[in-house]
Chain A
Amino acid sequence: MVITPTHYLVLSAALFVIGIIGVMTRRNIIVIFMSIELILNAVNINLIAFSSQLQNAVGQVFAIFVVCVAAAEAAVGLGIILAFYRNKETINIDEMNLMRW
């Protein structure tokens, strides 16, 4: 079976939707983080797929760039979570409503 860009797109869209649903529905902030990683990797699959399709390395470079940003983002995010946990002894997202009016 020949793997066409359509397969990649479907896989990517599926991953993206799974990630979105995870972000929206989960209460554990770690899981939400992991879901965000899924979203990012869905984008990465798209980038790589079109890079290989179009024989252009820019997409792969961009994917590596996204991975770097994701790593940085994970580090900062986990730092925030640790700080939050020390304060509130929980990482439940429903407790994080400090930004209310």
Chain B
Amino acid sequence: MDFIRLVPLLPLLPGIGAALNGLFGVRFFGKRVAGLVACTTMALALALSLAAFWQLLQLPAEGRERLVTVATWIPATALQMAGRIGTFQVDWAFRLDPLSAMMSLVVTGVGFLIHVYSIGYMADEPRGAYARYFSYLNLFCFFMLTLVLGSNFLVMFVGWEGVGLCSYLLIGYWYEKKSASDAGKKAFIVNRIGDWGFLLGLFLVYFTFGTLDFREVANRIGASFPIESAQFGVLSLISLLLFIGATGKSAQIPLYVWLPDAMEGPTPVSALIHAATMVTAGVYMVGRNAVLFSHAPMTMEIVMIVGALTALMAATIGLVQYDIKRVLAYSTVSQLGYMFLAMGVGAYAAGAFHLMTHAFFKALLFLCSGAVIHAMAGEQDMRRMGGLKQHLPVTYVTMLVGTLAIAGIPPLAGFFSKDEILLRTFLANKAIWGLAVVTALMTAFYMFRLMSLTFFGQYRGPAWEHSAAPAVHEAAVHGSLHPSDPFAHGQAARDDHEVGHGPADAVQTVTGGHGHGPWHGPHEAPRVMTVPLMVLAAGAIVAGFVGVPPALRGGNAIERFLEPSFTAHQVVAAGAGATVQAAEAGLAEAGEGSQGVAEAGEGGHMSAGGELGLMVLSVLVGVLGIWIAYRFYVRRPEIAEHLKVRWATAHRILSNKYYVDEFYGATAVAGTIASANGLWTIDRTVVDGAVNGSGWLTIFISWMSHLIDKYIVDGLVNLVGSILEESSFVFRRLQTGLVQNYALLMLLGVFAFVSVYLFVRR
């Protein structure tokens, strides 16, 4: 069976699940059925994408690209493009090639696990909301798969907008909570700013190339566009506009502000959408247009710098956050920066590889944090955790795996992908490489800080009702909550939570009704949640082995597998060329061109020894970060406090996230509101004034016309009438109604006429 032909089913399956749950589930399905529908459709999609992937692997390396057209969307229409009238046609077409196959595996695989996990995590939701949640989650997968499998910009744009919508819906899932609905709106609006760039880029793509198909665009660039290294040409403009779209979707400077706020959504949503899949859409899109970006070195430079700066900035903010999910959110922004850094130095395969490994370990980390939050009945502040190692053994081990993976400790997944990026960055730009290494150090540090605060040390959270608990234990728990604990104090002041206040309150405020009776202390999550954790942990361990670099006697299979997706194809270009000779002349050039791109991307080679040295360095950096965190937060917590006091200004700036939100609030938001107010005033006075003025004028004219009608036209008519009335006054006296009068008159008349007859005729 040819599973590749069934690729359009891949987005459709979760789409069906979303429709079932959305149309019927909210009213009629029980929780069990709703969860089952969602998970079944995702499992089927996962099976299908595995089968399709397997069949793709059977094909020869250069032919691993299949286009499946479902239907014509926009039939061929004449439309102006650069210099001539082109034909605008868009099909509902899906393309399975190495890149999209890998992405769909990630989306369906991670997505399926998160669906399963959600069954446990959302178990306390009311029935209708539960079905609504799964409907949104499935809908997200539908759009995400449309995004990665779409064969042209417009189908991708459908997915692109759709995932933005689902992101909005899921962030604001607990919509009764003001902060959650605000965060949803923020995410949506910031994404729309990025979409503006993406859409302009899309228009310019059609205007320049006359098509929206990714493959054709790449081939045309390869065949007839030089690399714009000297001037900022049309390719640079297109790629820059597309990159603006990517900064919105993938949370890069300057549009990253929505992602940390997006943590208001349920934790599985953060894992699926705001860590593993949707936010990588921008990276995927840049990789998908690798040929275009390769031809625009200036944009590449911008991508590289933005990526590096985002990575560094987000990592520094992550150093001081206390909300467990916010740390992970900034970590995600930082890792996305890494991916863009890879894209910016031309290491598309390395970026995509990091995207994949990151999907595993970041989904894992988020789900683990979800398990922790679940265990703490909604508490997210790490200062009120600690010592959870004994209570949550499975979560502890799996989270440790994820943390080691993100810190880049071999042989876990993050090591290989991060190292590949660092190597390629080192070859391209030493200064940026320095930033990336510092970021790696910080990553290791803040992730172990998270581990230390959460799992190690003393328990600092609220007390729980211990049925038949010995008084001694109770006292011990309260002892750990003593006000001498500096964290508990600050927390109480900040969140209005009384220390030792019943956890039911925290439940109400933090998760909006995630309670189940009295809380019995931190407890391990049910199996439906821990099994996905274990599977993801296994993935975080082994996912890296597909990309072992040659320096470690590996084949770097993933790079070789993905490489065809990032180059222009000459064969197809020849078929499309009008004049064979010209096409062939172009071909030779294109071949050299893409060769040149590859060379430029490599930017020189390095000895295996040098590569090994860099690897050792990055491992050392990771270990150093872990050691510092361990020292600060486990061995001697007073050092961290001391540093916090000593660097108070820096700490305040970082805690407030560089005041970027405040800056945007003061400039963009306030500016928008002020200009809207101004426009409203103009609308009220000028536009409404004109409308009202013309209304008044009409009323006045009609009033005048009314007067003329009343006194002149009607006057004439009435005059005729009254003249007749007055003159008839005399004659109507004759009409007495008495028959004899009439008869007398008749008689007189006859007399008169007869007299005339008798006398005058004579």
Chain A contact residues, CB within 8 Å of chain B: 20, 23-24, 32, 93-94, 96-101
A98: chain B residues at CB < 8 Å are 737
Contact B743–A99 (Cβ < 8 Å) = no
Instruction: Write the nearest CB–CB distance from A46 to chain B, whole angstroms.
Output: 15
Contact B738–A101 (Cβ < 8 Å) = no
Contact A96–B732 (Cβ < 8 Å) = no
Q: In the complex, A23 Cα to B735 Cα: how many Å?
A: 19
CB nearest to A23 among chain B residues = B743
With beta carbons under 8 angstroms apart, the residue of A20, A94, A99, A101 that contacts B732 is A101
List 7 A-B pairs, Cβ < 8 Å.
A23-B740, A23-B743, A24-B740, A24-B747, A93-B738, A99-B739, A100-B735
B736 within 8 A of A: yes
B744 within 8 A of A: yes
Contact A99–B747 (Cβ < 8 Å) = no
Q: In the complex, A23 Cα to B738 Cα: how many Å?
A: 12
Q: In the complex, A101 Cα to B732 Cα: how many Å?
A: 6
Instruction: Write the nearest CB–CB distance from B745 to chain A, whole angstroms.
Output: 11
Interface of B is mostly: helix
B 712-756 contacts with A by CB, 8 A: 732, 735-740, 743-744, 747
Render B370-401 as a binary contact track against A, CB cut-off 8 A, 1 for contact: 00000000000000000000000000000000
A101: chain B residues at CB < 8 Å are 732, 735, 737
Contact A100–B736 (Cβ < 8 Å) = yes
Interface bin, chain B: 10 to 19
CB nearest to B750 among chain A residues = A20
Contact A20–B737 (Cβ < 8 Å) = no
Instruction: Write the nearest CB–CB distance from B284 to chain A, whole angstroms.
Output: 99
Contact B738–A24 (Cβ < 8 Å) = no
Contact A20–B747 (Cβ < 8 Å) = yes
B747: chain A residues at CB < 8 Å are 20, 24
CB nearest to A100 among chain B residues = B737
* A97-B740 CB under 8 A given contacts A20-B747, A24-B747: no
Contact B738–A97 (Cβ < 8 Å) = yes
Q: In the complex, A36 Cα to B743 Cα: how many Å?
A: 12
Contact A97–B737 (Cβ < 8 Å) = yes
B743: chain A residues at CB < 8 Å are 23-24
Q: In the complex, A100 Cα to B741 Cα: how many Å?
A: 11
CB nearest to A96 among chain B residues = B739
With beta carbons under 8 angstroms apart, the residue of B732, B736, B744 that contacts A97 is B736
Instruction: Write the nearest CB–CB distance from B742 to chain A, whole angstroms.
Output: 8
B744: chain A residues at CB < 8 Å are 24
Q: In the complex, A32 Cα to B744 Cα: how many Å?
A: 13
Instruction: Write the nearest CB–CB distance from A55 to chain B, whole angstroms.
Output: 28
A32: chain B residues at CB < 8 Å are 740
Instruction: Write the nearest CB–CB distance from B746 to chain A, whole angstroms.
Output: 10
* Interface core residue of B736, B740, B747 (most chain A CB under 10 Å): B740
Instruction: Write the nearest CB–CB distance from A28 to chain B, whole angstroms.
Output: 12
